[in-house]
Amino acid sequence: MKNLFSFFLLFMLLTGIISSTSAQVTADKPRVIMIGAHPDDPDEAGGTAALLASMGCAVKFVAVTNGDAGHETLKGKELADMRFKEAQEAGKRLGVTYDVLDNHDGLLLPTLEVRLQIIRKIREWNADVVIAPRPNDYHPDHRYTGVLVQDAAYMVAVPDIAPETPYLKKNPVFLYFQDHFKRPNPFRPDIAVDISSVYDKKVYAFDAHKSQVYDWLPWIGHYSAQVPSGENDRLKWLAGWLDRPITPEIRASLEKWYGKDKAASATHVEVFEICEYGAQPSDADIRKLFPMLGK
């Protein structure tokens, strides 16, 4: 029985049903899909997306909901249409493709139907890297987006699941966006990307989500009075609002990937945690998947 089990396990590994311990990185230009709950959520990694796109890599953003509840006065289809247009403009500014799924904002659940939507998106993009939120967050849509992507991590390689969309013959590397939540465990900055050279582009992409960064989030967060009225002043304010501290842990990750001297000059950084699901990349794999990292 033990020998039979060992043979079965080896068969699954060889056929790709179970992820191998190393990522299968063969393409010259990695394909990356970043999945967030709402239009503007994937933009948290807008700097990394802009760098990858500038190197010829294929980058797609996916919002799992249409954002039709995220405003203090607008609602329903009118708001969903506005947020779709904002997302398309943000995608243009970053050089990425931006998809918005037609699920209601604030009502997302980790259902089979939505899981299949995400499986199809990952397969259609033939993704080498999938980035999503961790499944612990203040917003249920964020949490369930994390759960849905985790649930898809194994199934993207299973032929009989969503068979109308060809299954992936490799399991992508799954990563988490940065967050500040401590329980059940804090975020770990496994990969650090210096986005100093494209930080202005990230800010400009967020500026496209005007209904969010200038209306809804300040309103719900009770800081509307801080938002300037002029366009240039708003961009300057937004650059400060988006700025994230470079902690000692992030600095150490930067030094790992860029070396101490180059890391010292970084002013803006985006970081990612490697998910335990999907392919488990070596450092060499990470450098192939993120070619902007130091050698």
Residue 253 lies in a domain: yes
Give pTM, 2 decimals.
0.91
pLDDT tens profile 182-233: 999 999 999 999 999 999 999 999 999 999 999 999 999 999 999 999 999 9
Residue 2 lies in a domain: no
pLDDT tens profile 63-113: 999 999 999 999 999 999 999 999 999 999 999 999 999 999 999 999 999
Residue 210 lies in a domain: yes
**How many independent structural domains does the chain possess?**
1
Residue 228 lies in a domain: yes
Residue 8 lies in a domain: no
Residue 12 lies in a domain: no
CATH code of the domain containing 57:
3.40.50.10320
pLDDT tens profile 230-251: 999 999 999 999 999 999 999 9
Asked if 195 and 51 touch (Cβ cutoff 8 Å), the reply is yes
Provide the residue range defining the domain that includes 143: 28-289
285 half-sphere exposure, CB direction, 13 A CA radius = 17
